[in-house]
A and B are shown apart, each in its own frame.
Chain A
């Protein structure tokens, strides 16, 4: 794998990537504004999926808390947008809650650069802190997963409870412009779409670089045998913290783009169900393959936007069944199914379990 020779297979894959990127960049030429906006939203979700795949598919850490990181990024951007929309006045919901002046932590968000930086830094730091206090003590597996889910609950409760500072249940909405450009104009939307495409490609290249590097190999070693990796001399906690933080940062980036496209963020968009749906994107597309995760996010959201409005009840049944089927029958997702046609299957997980206990 390390030999960078251009085998025919590699060439096909490279051509595939080139065609896909070209198609993404030229999408505004043949798509309606409405469709383009939807696609832009899905591409933002694909960035989250990449981050999730990094920790789940490659490191074996399942986080059900990525809604929070996504939400934090979104709120950071939304705070800037809200302040810009309000001009010199206080944001409307603060007035309703009886605040007379802007809280101190809202002040710096008047600057776009600060908001954009915080949108990535806040989730990354939160993940780093949570990771430090858990991975250091070898809290992992389901224990970690449950803690991330609890993080979702308390964050949502907090955001709803602190209505004066966060807009409560309604969240933040009613934006008008970004950097002085009106948000609703088609030109801005197109520009935002291209920015999202660039962000997605950048995230993809970053993740691909990470998983192909030595760092990525250690991640996989931790996934397959954490104790073995430790005995060889790596400190798994450091790698886990780092990759969790990167993943959270990517979710934050996606959240910022999401707010720019959709124009609203509310606590319900980072609650338990959206968070676990993010995991489903990765599971369906194929964990452990970056392209699978991204495609899973785009296709599943496309299916959702097509079906969930016309058949909301059937959609929930479908979603639940999809979870069960993918986990039981297709642990490697759609890409895994595709790959199985060509390559012999890896040895099942049962064998790994047995050898684990023998360590």
Chain B
């Protein structure tokens, strides 16, 4: 019943109590720091993957997509389905490679559903961020219920491939699990691909143009409708990848997305919209401080402290870390 607490438990790399005892026993401070840093990095990378799509759609279309969490859930269930297909139709020697196929599969399915969503609902809500928030929340509710109807309410487990078992022994007492290293790697690759798309491709240039000045871009012959639709779909696809990555961390359920969505929104608020680097720093900031505060205090107090830090930070930079420069007032 307590989704977000559980999610952070899942995200916690080390059993905190056991680990503290261990540290007390040996009195090795470095282990603790490295372990917590890695833990924070791991949390941040997931947050980054989720917040990326949110930041782009919000920056471009001024639409808040509360159904983003459900696109994560769709990505996760796509992975689950891919796994089941492999179990049912392919020899078991092939099973280990299902995950390689699951990543593009979850991207594509989430991409397609994002496209449908944009076409049928989101485009009526441009420039009405608060309304878009409410309408997409309704969509989220329906998608969750749909997943509950199709896959059942209980969580389902996804068996991760055996080549991701085990971990890399960094030093005595610090083992970095391959799964988490794989997720961090996946995030870096996705990020790089997004960088290429946004800053090094024609489509990305059009997207940035629309983001900066929609009317002017339209006057110069850019089809803003098409840019909006593609961008929204790509953001959804990345959410799908995030869902795929989350299957490595634990069982998945219909409400998977809601555990992460608010934190991802905080990343957007903190990092500002319109630039990749803002989202990256925002995700790292929230992921690391969250892990550290939760380690030093308790899970519940840690959350409060992070929230206070964010509000304090916004006193200094109300528009987030990296804001797009503009002369318009609103």
Q: B301–A158 contact, CB under 8 A?
A: yes
Chain A residues within 8 Å of B258, by CB: 272
- Given A151-B307, A157-B300: A316 and B329 within 8 A (CB)? no
Encode B18-55 as 1/0 by CB contact (under 8 A) with A.
00000000000000000000000000000000000000
Asked if A153 is at the interface (CB within 8 A of a chain B CB), the reply is yes
Majority SS of interface residues in chain B?
Answer: helix
Encode B316-330 as 1/0 by CB contact (under 8 A) with A.
001000000000111
Encode B138-155 as 1/0 by CB contact (under 8 A) with A.
111110110011000000
For A149, A154, A162, A331, the residue with the greatest tally of chain B CB atoms inside 10 Å of its CB is A154
Asked if B64 is at the interface (CB within 8 A of a chain A CB), the reply is yes
Asked if A283 is at the interface (CB within 8 A of a chain B CB), the reply is yes
Q: A331–B303 contact, CB under 8 A?
A: no
Chain B residues within 8 Å of A353, by CB: 127
Which of these binds chain A: B73-81, B176-184, B185-193, B261-269? B261-269
Q: How far is the CB of A93 from chain B (nearest CB, A)?
A: 16
Taking a contact as CB atoms closer than 8 A, the residue among A138, A160, A316, A350 that contacts B127 in the complex is A350
Q: Roughly how many angstroms separate A130 CA and B318 CA in the complex, as a whole number?
A: 14
Q: Roughly how many angstroms separate A317 CA and B142 CA in the complex, as a whole number?
A: 5
Q: How far is the CB of A156 from chain B (nearest CB, A)?
A: 8
Asked if B130 is at the interface (CB within 8 A of a chain A CB), the reply is yes
- Given A138-B318, A149-B262: A319 and B138 within 8 A (CB)? yes
Asked if B310 is at the interface (CB within 8 A of a chain A CB), the reply is yes
For B140, B258, B265, B328, the residue with the greatest tally of chain A CB atoms inside 10 Å of its CB is B265
Closest residue on chain A to residue B300 by CB atoms: A161
Q: B134–A327 contact, CB under 8 A?
A: yes
Q: Roughly how many angstroms separate A317 CA and B298 CA in the complex, as a whole number?
A: 37
Q: A320–B141 contact, CB under 8 A?
A: yes
Q: A161–B330 contact, CB under 8 A?
A: no
Q: B329–A323 contact, CB under 8 A?
A: no
Q: B304–A158 contact, CB under 8 A?
A: yes
Asked if A100 is at the interface (CB within 8 A of a chain B CB), the reply is no
Q: A323–B127 contact, CB under 8 A?
A: no
Asked if B169 is at the interface (CB within 8 A of a chain A CB), the reply is no
Asked if A145 is at the interface (CB within 8 A of a chain B CB), the reply is yes
Closest residue on chain A to residue B148 by CB atoms: A313
Q: B314–A146 contact, CB under 8 A?
A: no
Chain A residues within 8 Å of B307, by CB: 150-151, 154
Asked if B4 is at the interface (CB within 8 A of a chain A CB), the reply is yes
Q: How far is the CB of A223 from chain B (nearest CB, A)?
A: 11
Chain A residues within 8 Å of B268, by CB: 146
Taking a contact as CB atoms closer than 8 A, the residue among A146, A158, A268, A350 that contacts B266 in the complex is A146
Asked if A142 is at the interface (CB within 8 A of a chain B CB), the reply is yes
- Given A141-B130, A154-B307, A353-B127: A162 and B300 within 8 A (CB)? yes
Chain A residues within 8 Å of B311, by CB: 130, 133-134, 147
Q: How far is the CB of B124 from chain A (nearest CB, A)?
A: 5
Find residues 105-161 in chain B having any chain A CB closer than 8 Å to their own CB: 121, 124-125, 127-131, 133-135, 137-142, 144-145, 148-149
Asked if A341 is at the interface (CB within 8 A of a chain B CB), the reply is no
Taking a contact as CB atoms closer than 8 A, the residue among B5, B124, B139, B330 that contacts A357 in the complex is B330
Q: How far is the CB of A345 from chain B (nearest CB, A)?
A: 17
Q: Roughly how many angstroms separate A320 CA and B314 CA in the complex, as a whole number?
A: 32
Chain B residues within 8 Å of A142, by CB: 58, 64, 129-130, 133
Q: B130–A153 contact, CB under 8 A?
A: no
Chain A residues within 8 Å of B130, by CB: 62, 141-142, 145
Q: How far is the CB of B307 from chain A (nearest CB, A)?
A: 5
Closest residue on chain B to residue A327 by CB atoms: B135
Asked if A232 is at the interface (CB within 8 A of a chain B CB), the reply is no
Closest residue on chain B to residue A279 by CB atoms: B134
Asked if A303 is at the interface (CB within 8 A of a chain B CB), the reply is no
Encode B231-275 as 1/0 by CB contact (under 8 A) with A.
000000000000000000000000000100010011011000000
Q: Roughly how many angstroms separate A132 CA and B330 CA in the complex, as a whole number?
A: 20
Taking a contact as CB atoms closer than 8 A, the residue among A160, A313, A324 that contacts B138 in the complex is A324
Taking a contact as CB atoms closer than 8 A, the residue among B2, B127, B329 that contacts A169 in the complex is B2
Encode A168-179 as 1/0 by CB contact (under 8 A) with B.
010000000000
Q: How far is the CB of B231 from chain A (nearest CB, A)?
A: 18
Closest residue on chain B to residue A358 by CB atoms: B328
Q: B129–A321 contact, CB under 8 A?
A: no
Q: B265–A149 contact, CB under 8 A?
A: yes
Closest residue on chain A to residue B66 by CB atoms: A276
Q: B133–A323 contact, CB under 8 A?
A: no
Q: A146–B141 contact, CB under 8 A?
A: no
Q: How far is the CB of B316 from chain A (nearest CB, A)?
A: 9
Encode A116-153 as 1/0 by CB contact (under 8 A) with B.
00000000000000100110011101110111011101
Find residues 235-281 in chain A having any chain B CB closer than 8 Å to their own CB: 268, 272, 276, 279-280
Chain A residues within 8 Å of B2, by CB: 160, 169
6 nearest interchain CB pairs?
A161-B300, A323-B138, A320-B141, A320-B142, A137-B318, A327-B135
A-B pairs with beta carbons under 8 Å apart, 14 shown: A62-B130, A134-B311, A137-B314, A157-B4, A158-B301, A169-B1, A272-B258, A280-B134, A313-B148, A321-B138, A323-B138, A324-B135, A324-B139, A359-B329
Instruction: List residues of B whose CB falls within 8 A of some A CB.
Output: 1-2, 4-5, 58, 64, 121, 124-125, 127-131, 133-135, 137-142, 144-145, 148-149, 258, 262, 265-266, 268-269, 298-301, 303-304, 307, 310-311, 314-315, 318, 328-330
Given contacts A62-B133, A151-B307, 12 further A-B contacts (CB under 8 A): A134-B311, A134-B314, A150-B266, A157-B304, A158-B301, A158-B304, A160-B2, A313-B149, A320-B137, A321-B138, A324-B135, A327-B134
